[in-house]
Amino acid sequence: MKTLGEFIIEKQHQFPHATGELTALLSAIKLGAKIINRDINKAGLIDILGESGQSNIQGEKQMKLDAFANEALKAALEARGVVAGIASEEEDHLVIFGKDKATHGKYVVLMDPLDGSSNIDVNVSVGTIFSIYHRITPIGTPITEEDFLQSGHKQVAAGYIIYGSSTMLVYTTGCGVNAFTYDPSIGVFCLSHENVQFPSTGNMYSINEGYYSKFPLGVKKYIKYCQEEDDATNRPYTSRYIGSLVSDFHRNLLKGGIYIYPSTAQYPMGKLRLLYEANPIALLAEQAGGKASNGTKRILDIEPRKLHERTPLFVGMESMVNDAEKFMAESIE
C-alpha cells in the first residue's frame, strides 16, 4: 500500500521546479497530525479536556486542546526550516519564525489547529485545516502580513486532517484531491481514497437550523426547498449537521451534499474564517468537482483584508451550491 511520503515524492514530477521544500512542509504537517492524533485518543486520560480559561482574538473560549494542537503544529512547521511563519486562528497576530527561517523560508502557512474543538469533550470528530502559500515578500527579507493576505486561488496546497473513527489526511496541491488513512500499528498514512470527487448526486444539507430565525431570507427559502418532496430532484434532502466544519464537509464530499454557514443577526459577516477555514476547504471542493461561494461570489476570488476576516460559506456539490446561490439572488432583502 502506498504511503503518504511515497505518494508525495512520486507526484513531485508534476512540479518541474520543485526542490523538495513543499515535501518537507507536508511532512511537518503529517508529523503534527500524528502528535495531535495521539493526544486526542487519550484526551480523557490526561488533563487536556475542557476550557483553558483563555479566549482567542475572536472572543471565543479556547479549549485546552486548541492551544495544544496549535503549539504542536507550530513546532513541527518551524523545525523544518522551509516555513517563514504562520497565521493561526488561535494566534492574535502572525507568528514569524526564527530570523533565518523568516528571511529564507519560501512558504507561509495558515491554519485552524483544531476545528470543532468544542465537541471534543463528547467524543465527536474534530479536525485540523491548513492552507499553504508562497510568500510574496522577497526571499532574504522579513515576512509581513501581506504574505498571508492572498486570495484563495493562489494557494499552493491545502487540506485537513479528520480525527474520527479513523484519522485521515486529505489534501490537494491543485492536481486533484487524495486522502490517506492513518495506520497506528505502523505509524504511517496510507493512500485510501485516490482522486476523490463529489458524487454525481447527493441528498444531504448541513446547516445549524437552530439559527433558522436569524438566517437571510434566501437561506430560509433554500432550506424549505430542501425539505419539499420532489421525485425528479430526489427531495426531500436529509439534514445532517455535526457542528465541525471538517466532519460535515468530509461526509458531504464522500456522500454528496452541501454545507452552509451563512450570515446571521449575531454574525453579519458569517462566523467561519476566510483564511483558515473557507479558503482551504474551497480549494479542496473545487479540486473535487464541487463549488464554494459566500452566497454570491466564489470564495477563492475574495481579496482578504485582515487575518481573522470572516465569511459566509456555501460549499459542496456544484449543483446544490448553484441552487442555494439562486435562492440568495432572488431574495435580496
Binding site, annotated residues for Mg(2+): 89, 112, 114-115, 277
- What is the residue type of 149? L
Q: Which of 278, 66, 296 is nearest to 155 (CA)?
A: 278
Q: Judging by beta carbons within 10 Å of its beta carbon (0-12, 13-18, 19+), is residue 258 exposed, middle or buried?
A: buried
- What is the residue type of 276? Y
Helix (H) or strand (E) holding 83, with range, is: strand 83-88
Q: Which of 24, 21, 174 is nearest to 106 (CA)?
A: 21
- Please say whether the beta carbons of 265 and 324 come within 8 A: no
Contacting residues for 232 by C-beta, under 8 A, at least 6 apart: none
Grid cell digits, residue 31? 508529523
Grid cell digits, residue 48? 487536556
Positions at the binding site for substrate: 115-118, 208, 241, 271
Distance CA 296, CA 331 (A): 12
- Please say whether the beta carbons of 66 and 52 come within 8 A: yes
Helices (H), 81-208: 99-104
Positions at the binding site: 89, 112, 114-118, 208, 241, 271, 277
Distance CA 196, CA 194 (A): 6
Angle at 243 between CA 126 and CA 48, to 5 degrees: 40
Distance CA 67, CA 259 (A): 27
Helix (H) or strand (E) holding 309, with range, is: none
Helix (H) or strand (E) holding 221, with range, is: helix 217-227
